Structure formats: C-alpha cells, structure tokens
Structure 1
Amino acid sequence: MLLKKSLLALLIGASVFLTACGGSDSDDSEPTTPKPTEPKPVESTVQTEATLTSEKANIAVFGNVDKKYFTEATLATGNGVLLLDDPQLNSVGFALDLKSKATDLNAFSAAQLESYMKILRDHGATVNVLVNKTSKNAQGNVTNITLDVDFKNVETLNRVREVLLLAINQGKSISLPTTVTAKDTKQRLNLAFWLENGTGFVWGNSYAVNQATAIEKQYGDLNIASALSSNAKLQVKTITNSFTQNAQGSNAVDILWNIDSSGSMYEEQKNLANGASQFFTALNKAGIDYRLAVNTQDAYDCQNLRTLSDQKSVFIDRKTLNAEEEWKKLAQPGTSDSATETGFYCVREANLTNFDRTNAKNLIVFVSDEPENETVNQARPIRSNGYQARDFADYKNYFLKTGATYFSIVGTANSIRNTFADNYPGYQDKAWGCRGDGGSAEGGAHFKEISRVTGGSSASICANASSWNVMFSEIIKAASGLASSFTLTQLPIPSTVTVNVSGKNVQRDLTHQNGFDLVYSATGATIVFYGEALPTANKKVDVSYKYLNK
C-alpha cells in the first residue's frame, strides 16, 4: 500500500512539472516568452579608459595622443619601457616603472634628478633647472622638473634619452627607434616622478627648445604626469563639481618679489626686467586681480617696499599706467646694497601695510645668487643689540604658518643646515655653485626647500636668459591657480574634463587666449579661465570629469 501511494505521488508531480514547462497538448495554453537578458555594463577601468597601456612598462597613457608614435622595449632586467618618438614635433620620450623601492617621493626624485644631471653633464651638456615643483596626478604626488640641456656640439634629439636609458639599463645598449633625426644644441627635458605601491615611476620627454610651445600643447599633460598612471586595475568614476562665480575681486593675488641687490646681481636683475612684456601679457590674459611689489635683501632698508616713479605707490596692478616700465624699475634695485643678503628676514619683516589685501592669496618670489646668509652662515641681518639670528627650522615653521606660496630663482645647492648645531654645508655640497648665461651663483638650498614645502617651485638663477620665460610662466600659472575659485574635489584625467558656464560649453585653450585650462598643484587641481571665457559674477560653472578611484 505504501508503494502505491508513492507511485501516485510521483505521477502527480511529473504531471505538474510537464504542464509548467509547456508540455501540455492543450491549444488553450500560450507559450511563455522569456524576458531578454540585459547585458551587464562594462566596468570603466584604467584599461578601458586609457588611450594605450603597456604591461611591460606598467604605464597607462590618457588623452589625445597618436598611438603609432609609441612602442615598447625590454631592458636588461626584463622590465619594459614605453617609448615615444614623434617625428612631427621631434619629441622623444620614455616612461617606465623603475622597480626601485621608495616611500619618500622627495628623496626618490632628488636622487634621480642628481643622477640624471650628472649623466648629462658627463656627456658634455650644461644643465640647469627651470622648474622643480610638486604637483599631483590621479595616483598622488608628482615631482615635476624641467631642465635646460645645452650641448657644446650639435646632438640628435635622441641623445638625452639614449644616455639616460643606458644608465637605467645598467650600461647595456638598448634598441631604440630612429624616426626622430632632428639635431640641436639647445634641448629641454621634462621629467615627472611619482610613487605607486612603494615603487618609483618616471616619465621623460626631450625636444628642441624652439619646439617648447608645440610640445606643451600636445604633450603638456604627459610632461607633468597628469595624463599618466601605472597600469593598475583601478576603477574610473565620473563626477560633476558645480560652482557659482563669486563677486568681482575674489580672484586676488598679491605677489611680493624679494630681490638680492648686492654687487653681483646685475645680470640677474636685467633678466627680470627683460621679461616684463611676456610676464604682464600672461598675467592680464588670466584675468587675475594682481598686485606686484618688490623689496630687497638688504636688511638696512628691506622693511620698506620699493616705490614707483611717483615716489609713493608701492605696487603695480592692472590699473597701473606704463606697468611694464614700472616693473623694469622695481626689478632693478641696483647692486650697491649689503653683501650680507638676508632674504628670509627681509620677507618676514617687510611692511606690507599698503600692499597686502585680506581677501588675496599671497605669493612670494626669492631672487638671489647667494646663500640665505642668516640661516646658512648665522649672520645677523642687522647690527642692533638684542637680535638673535634665527635658524632655518625657525623660518621654515614661520613660512608654513603664513599659508603663502613661495618661489625661488636661486643657486643650485642641495644641503640644508636645519639648525645652527648642524654642520655648515659649504663647498662639500657638489651642487653648491653654478655658472651659466644667467650668471653665477652659490648656495640656494634653503630658498629651494621653502618653495618645495609650501607648494611653490624653484629654478636655477644660472639658466640661460632666454629661458627665464619658463620661470615667469610657472609663477603666473601658480598665481592663476591660487586666484581660482574652482578647486576640483578629485584629481581629473585632463582629457575627460568638460566645462559648462550657464549652459554654454567652454573649450580648453592651452594657449591661454580664450577658454579654460587646468592647473595641477601640490594641493590638487583647479580650473582657470582666460579671455572672454572668464565667468562674470553669479554665473553657474559645472565641471564634469573622470578620475581614478583609488
């Protein structure tokens, strides 16, 4: 009897199963139409968003670049290197994961820079730093460096990359493309160093100086590594930041130039004056509400700002008549002041009553061909009783608290005397002195360090006079970024940025005539407007872009 009940149950279950599957012969039943399966959305990652990736070199490249100009090569270590050879612009680049363990970007990049400069000098080049600063890319902090590389004899544009990769490749030759055959004595090298997962990365791009403008337009984002990352499998996300343009006058920057006025500064002051036209043209294009003032490094007189031709105005702004001529006057305070230059003291003690605005960001530029004598040599800036010389640690703490951004056009030394208990660095520093078309100099390390820690940039005062425009451009770029009210919440992939002002699309303009551009700094990225694209008060600004989700 149990068997019969089980059999009956089985037959009933089978009947139900067949009916549910459309197995019935009844004409009244309609077949069930299966729902279409929606395709699973493809996840946006570095590998799907990058223009090209190199597993060998562990590098991803974003943006509007031509993939046919990029190739890969293998080093003796088995590591790969991504090569750029653009015969149209005569641009020769390389990028790779150096596979060198590092946790401190400053120490890593400083060691790499020292090594690269020595290699180039050993091959007959005169090398000067035009830009040395910290910015950010999608993976973190980046050290950006621009070098002038002047050969005595004409060299192919491949030469810089060739000698650097030879050293990276443990002295063994590597097969390199030969499509770029142009030659020049005056070349430039852009370097970018960053860290990811405890290892160091480098991008290098060399080209003729006379191609700098075209290179900046095509490869500028790669040269500062804002369009580069490792080949990590990171998710790419999209975001929109919305802003409202503040009232007019909110984009204010006060720039104080602290200029050495000792006997050896004739050439350097002349270089400052000769850059007036380019400097003011770029400032005015950016729409910055700027003020420029100058004091010296002569402690007996540096508390007071230099005056204009009217003998009472202490700054130049957008309304100043004959601004270029007035700048030439301010920038050349003469060479008859004290030989004990004390730039830190003079900036700290400067009377800014009629210059500094409460709503303005502050930018200070040190210009000197000597060490900062108070902190290096323990020299008292004034001879009055009771003044105790301050050491570098004291000034560093003070300058950080000011919130200002500091730049320096100074010597090339690297050694820091942090306190007076430390040894005097002096001539033990291999980079203590430099000589070039821009003049000669000693010291400079203390100025450079203040620039680094406050997010500014440093440059060699010995650089060719024709290259000082690069220094001026870097200062203006920083001023533009400081003045901008449009700070992005994430680090954007530059080629993905779209800007909309009150419903109207604004194009990126790398010539800074009429449009927007991106400024990457140590604190993040900002949008800067130029020309007629500058939003008027209360205009809504929407910025959409993609970023790496670390």
Structure 2
Amino acid sequence: MTRRLMGVLFTFSLLTLSACGDGPIFGLSDFNESFEAVTYNNKVDILWVIDTSPSMTDDRKKLSKEIEFMFQQMDGKKLDYRMAAVTMDMGSRSADQYSGGRFVGSSTKVISNSTANKVDAFNSMLNGYETSYQYADGLDALKKALSPERLGKENQGFFRDDSLLSVIFVSDGRDWSSATPEDTISFLDTLKPNLQNGNKGWVANFIGVIEESVKCETIVGVSDIGVRFMEVSNASQGSVNSICEDELAATVGNIQRTIISIVTDWYLEEPAVVETIRVSINGVNISQDPENGWTYNAEKKLISFHGNAVPASDAKVVVDYTPESIGKKKLETKI
C-alpha cells in the first residue's frame, strides 16, 4: 500500500519502508521531505534449523508447547509471515526426502498466517523426523536450504526478496559444519543485503547451550556450547537463549520480540533531545520504559517499542521530539 507524504504529516500502513527504488527498511518510517511516496511491508520469513538427534527429543517437546504463543503474537501484530523448518542432518540419510537442506513436515512444508492448524503443522515439522546422526551440521543445512537449488525446487514458496529473514538455530550441541560462521554470515549478507538504514536484512537467533552449566551437561559431564551458532546470531544482534531451562516460554518470547522489534523500530531523521520525546499509540501516551514502553538509542537515532507497547499494524503512532539541530517536528503515522 502506498501513501503520499504531505509536509511533515503522513500516514502509513504495514511495517517496512521502501523509498525511491531503494531496498526495504524494516521499521516505522522516519521523516524525510525528499520522499514523494513510501511503501510499507510487514513480511517476515522464519526458518527453523533444528537438531533432530536423539538427545534433542525432550527439548523439541518443550519447544512445541510454546509455539502457539509465538503464532498468537505474530498474528496479533498482523505480520505477513512464512515459516519453514530444516533439520541439521546432512550426513546420515542423504537419500531421505527430509535431509540435505529440504524442508520437513508431513504435509505442510511452509506455514503462513493463513494456514489452518498452524500449531499442528509446526509440531509435524519439529517432531516428525529423528536421526541417529550425532553431528549437527546446522550452518551447512541453512546454506543448503536457502540455495538456489533448493529454493527453486523442493523449498519453493518460502523465500521472498522483500521480507525480513529470521533464522532460528535449535541444538543442544556444537556445530560440525564445513561452513564456518564467517562463511554463513557472508552467505546471508549476500542473500539479504543490508537495509537502507544500514541494518542487516536478516537476523539469526539461537536456542541451545550458551555456557558451562550442570543443567546442560551430557552423559559424559560436558557442556557442548554452540559457539558457532552464537557467533552468527551475535553478528546480527539476534537473540541467544539457553535450551537447558525446564520451560522455554521466556526463550520463545525473546525470539518473537526480537523479530517484532525489528519491523517496528522507528528511525528518526536527526538525533533527538531525549527529554523532549513524546510517544502515543492510538491516542494513549506511552512512557519511556524498556519493558512495556519505548526506548531511544541515540547512536542509531532509533526508537524501539517493547512489551505491551509494541504497536499492531493498524495502530496510529505519533512521535513528538525536538531535534538537536532544529526546532520541534511532529511525525504522525498510521502503521
């Protein structure tokens, strides 16, 4: 949907910005007088890269209990999402239809916000395939799943050029791929070039062993930390979470908040005087609060929304602020 700007007052719908032929900007729009028209897009493609070795059986069950909440949150914010899953098994069953970077699932291989019985479809992806292969080749599986070979055939219908790509690695061990974290970061940077605001067009998240802990020890008393998965996630400022907790509700919440925050971040044209920032959503004033309000990153000129204050895609957001260099501006936006 396109809206024409009128002075400093403008409205918009959906959640990402593309202007004058440039690449998409995920987030709420900043003010820019040179824009004649802007297009917004709320597309997110989510790829789960899952360790299906026997040691992960209980962890996958814990994850399946929390996925309904993630769907509820994304549907509540009216995201246009696609979701698929691939296993980390690249070696033991190379002839099997579910290995080698092919999407898994008994019938539905790509879930969207219009898919019926989304939870059942996801659980089929998560629990429908188990391997005796003990080595998690997650980085290799990711690259294979998103290769032209797979996207043009078995994995069609998932990847969109104009969407945010979110990768979620799930493993209780290290990565044994031939691909390095540097290889993987370069691959994703090429597949999803940086956005117009300089941020990455992709974000990686990790659910796994993130530190030495008795709760994470294997039968031989070792914590197998997912260092390589963490490196890729940290490169994109993604969410890194422990798989060793009894429940994964907080973990799934962290990941969905990471995704939603990227598409609702507001980039200001100029640095703001923090004390002058005023934010309202649907006419209700929102406080500066890192849990259920907004925060301001002066270095990035970025307003982020958190918790209950994250706006839905049909909310009306108004931000007043005084730039450091010029007088007060008023940006009125309809997401």
TM-score by length of 1: 0.42
Q: Could you say which structure has the larger radius of gyration?
A: 1
Gaps of 5+ in 2: 1-28, 193-200, 326-335
Contact kept, 8 Å, 2:81 with 2:113, in 1: the verdict is yes
Contact kept, 8 Å, 2:267 with 2:300, in 1: the verdict is no
Residue among 348, 351, 373 paired with 2:143: 348
The one-letter amino acid paired with 2:140 is: Y
Residue among 496, 505, 530 paired with 2:283: 505
Partner of 1:397: 186
Residue among 533, 537, 543 paired with 2:319: 543
- State the distance in 1 between where 2:83 and 2:30 align: 32
Contact kept, 8 Å, 1:519 with 1:528, in 2: the verdict is no
Q: CA RMSD in A?
A: 4.0
Partner of 1:327: 122
- Deviation at 1:547? 7.9
SS of match in other structure, 2:283: strand
- Deviation at 1:325? 2.1
The one-letter amino acid paired with 1:266 is: T
What pairs with 1:3-402 in structure 2 (closer than 5 Å)? 241-242=30-31, 250-299=41-90, 300=94, 301-307=99-105, 309=106, 311=107, 313-350=108-145, 351-352=150-151, 353-374=156-177, 389-401=178-190, 402=192
Query: Deviations 1:397-443 (Å, cap 9, x if unpaired)?
Result: 33444441111111125xxxxxxxxxxxxxxxxx3x65259999512
SS of match in other structure, 2:229: helix
Q: Structure 1 pair 324/436, CA: closer, same or farther in 2 (3 Å)?
A: same
Higher relative contact order (CA 8 A, sep 6+): 2
2:302 maps to 1:525? yes
The one-letter amino acid paired with 1:366 is: F
Q: Structure 1 pair 295/509, CA: closer, same or farther in 2 (3 Å)?
A: farther
2:263 maps to 1:483? yes
- State the distance in 2 between where 1:349 and 1:519 align: 38
Contact kept, 8 Å, 1:265 with 1:335, in 2: the verdict is no
More strand by share: 1
SS of match in other structure, 2:47: strand
- State the distance in 1 between where 2:288 and 2:125 align: 30
- Deviation at 1:278? 1.8
Residue among 238, 247, 254 paired with 1:456: 238
Query: Deviations 1:93-122 (Å, cap 9, x if unpaired)?
Result: xxxxxxxxxxxxxxxxxxxxxxxxxxxxxx
Contact kept, 8 Å, 1:294 with 1:306, in 2: the verdict is yes
After TM superposition, the structure 1 stretch with the greater mean CA deviation from structure 2, 330-339 or 392-401, is 392-401
SS of match in other structure, 1:463: coil
Contact kept, 8 Å, 1:294 with 1:305, in 2: the verdict is yes
The one-letter amino acid paired with 1:360 is: S
- Work out the number of aligned pairs and report it: 265
Contact kept, 8 Å, 1:274 with 1:328, in 2: the verdict is no
- Deviation at 1:370? 1.1
The one-letter amino acid paired with 2:257 is: K
Contact kept, 8 Å, 1:252 with 1:290, in 2: the verdict is yes
Contact kept, 8 Å, 1:286 with 1:528, in 2: the verdict is no
Gaps of 5+ in 1: 1-239, 375-388, 414-430
